[in-house]
Amino acid sequence: MLPTAVIERAQQEMLEWGDSGMSVMEMSHRGKDYMSIAQSAEANLREVMGIPDNYKVLFLQGGASSQFAMVPMNLLQGKSGADYLNTGMWSKKAVAEAKRYCDVNVAADTSEGGFCSVPTQESLKLNADAAYVHYTPNETIGGVEFDYVPETGDVPLVADMSSTILSRPMDVSKYGVIYAGAQKNIGPAGLTIAIVREDLIGNAMENTPVMFNYETHAKSDSMYNTPPTYSWYMAGLVFEWIKEQGGLAAMGEINQRKANKIYELIDSSDFYGNPVDKNGRSWMNVPFTLADAELDGAFLAGAAERGLVTLKGHRSVGGMRASIYNAMPESGVDTLVEFMKEFEQQNG
């Protein structure tokens, strides 16, 4: 989902951007017009997130799945292992790919409890010699979100923020690398953003493809080859939109309120359930079940009638999942909550 205002602006600018005589899609990435679009997008992201000067912002391709390899390839820097916190499906994928390049120490694992909790800081079995610590602040499928930033001392912290970036204010300086596929909170698919502390750039493994080396992109302002120009432009529109909403502080307030409305209904009802520990509940993805799974089909059909779509839970967990990213307006959540109440009254 994208903010309606953003899509409408993109539509207006589709045939001609400014007085450039062409569509953004047709611009050379090295031309003056596109460079201004690209640079202004980066400047706005830096402003919105408060990214310190000693971090590079890279506009990449390949999704978080590519970062699962790029992180070890770039950050091992001669060390033999890294720490991973395993808190859900995305962590698991990151671990599987990292194992192909290094020894993975699973420093926390919540799989036994069905990925329904966040490990405490005290429970983390961190290795002081690890090249880095990798975690997934928000797990989309389980709907589990860390309510704290792990403390890792001098070991760089790496976060797959695909589904939680830009959802609230955060302290970038606590991280070595933050990466995120664009398609949740940033813009259309096809763009991946990596925010990398400069001292971690420049020591990639020997066989790292040029395109998987952070240094390649850091040195060329992400213009080593043609970047995903249109997605980058759309991301820039989203960053402007966030500024207009009042920045991440405002987004955080709205997002917390949106999530609370759904969780409050779930907790006040015997008809709906959510298995996640209260302190680990995601603001972005709210999985929930109906007391009687046989009603799932009727629930989805009724929701679709009100324009509430893509509510079906991931095939691995079943049930429902409300993804309430930044672009979902509070009124959309209100419509969902109202429908859930009605459906419970009729079927509970």
Point out which residues bind its own copies (CB under 8 A): 1-2, 7-8, 10-11, 14-15, 21-23, 25-26, 28-29, 31, 61-66, 68-70, 73, 97, 100-101, 181, 183, 188-191, 207, 209-212, 224-231, 234, 307, 309-310
Name the residue nearer to its own copies (CB basis): 191 or 195.
191
Name the residue nearer to its own copies (CB basis): 13 or 296.
13
CB-based contacts of 169: which residues, under 8 Å, 6+ apart? Answer: 50, 247, 248, 249, 252
Cα–Cα distance list, 184 to 5, 20, 189, 326 (Å): 17, 30, 8, 8
- Cβ 335 to its own copies, closest distance in Å? 14
Query: What is the three-class DSSP state of 135?
Result: strand
Q: What is the dihedral of CA 109, 262, 329, 47, to 10 degrees?
A: -40
Q: Which of 204, 159, 132, 144 is nearest to 64 (CA)?
A: 159
Name the residue nearer to its own copies (CB basis): 234 or 251.
234
Beta bridge partners of 135: 159
- Cβ 157 to its own copies, closest distance in Å? 22
Q: Which residues are catalytically annotated?
A: 90, 160, 184
- Cβ 230 to its own copies, closest distance in Å? 5
CA angle 173, 179, 185 (to 5 degrees): 105
Name the residue nearer to its own copies (CB basis): 172 or 300.
300
- Cβ 288 to its own copies, closest distance in Å? 19
- Cβ 237 to its own copies, closest distance in Å? 11
Tell me phi and psi for residue 88, to 5 degrees. 165, -170
Name the residue nearer to its own copies (CB basis): 98 or 290.
98
CB-based contacts of 76: which residues, under 8 Å, 6+ apart? Answer: 82, 101, 102, 131, 205
